[in-house]
Amino acid sequence: QVQLGEFADIRLTAYPDKLLSARISNIGPILDPNIRTAKVRLELENPGLMRLGMFVTATFHGPHREKYASIPAAAILHLHDREWVYTPAGNGYFRRLEVVSGNMLGDGMQQILRGISPGAQVVSNALDLQHTVSE
């Protein structure tokens, strides 16, 4: 089973020593029940080797896992079209950091793509912050 955004290795029959990487950009809506196949569109950079009508072999590897931070969605302050979180700065103070959020993960958790590292401490509810904030 493959999903959008997953990666595949591509080998051109004409150039079997060349290995290219592609990402699944579209999966056809029809599954052939007899041979259990569906049309899949892959996108990749063409280094000048590929021509119309060439054959390839694609090897699918599943999702490309990257490590992202996940925090309570309530920890994100939405202010002026930007997203912020508060992190401990020491001595009872907090620092406001800009973040970029990703997908909702369920159970009220939000994926963070940029701005903090996995495992970083944040204030769990940004609106309840009662302390002085240093930027």
Q: Are residues 41 and 83 in the same domain?
A: no
Residue 119 located in a structural domain: yes
pLDDT in tens, 33-89: 888 888 999 998 888 889 999 999 999 876 656 678 999 999 999 988 999 999 999
Residue 35 located in a structural domain: yes
Residue 27 has pLDDT above 60, yes or no: yes
Structure tokens at 111: 């994926």
pLDDT in tens, 93-113: 899 999 999 888 878 899 898
The three state secondary structure string of 16-69 is EEEEEEEEEEEECCCCECCCCECCEEEECCCCCCCCCCCCEEEEEEECCCCCCE
Q: Structural domain of residue 129, as residue ranges?
A: 69-134
CA 66 from chain centre, in angstroms, equals: 7
Is the pTM higher than 0.75? The answer reads no
Residue 1 located in a structural domain: no
Residue 130 has pLDDT above 60, yes or no: no
Residue that terminates a domain, selected from 62, 77, 109: 62
CA nearest neighbour of 43 among 60, 25, 58: 25
Domain count, the chain: 2
SS3 117: coil
CB atoms within 10 A of CB 20: 19
Residue 114 located in a structural domain: yes
Across the range 20-44, mean pLDDT stands at: 88
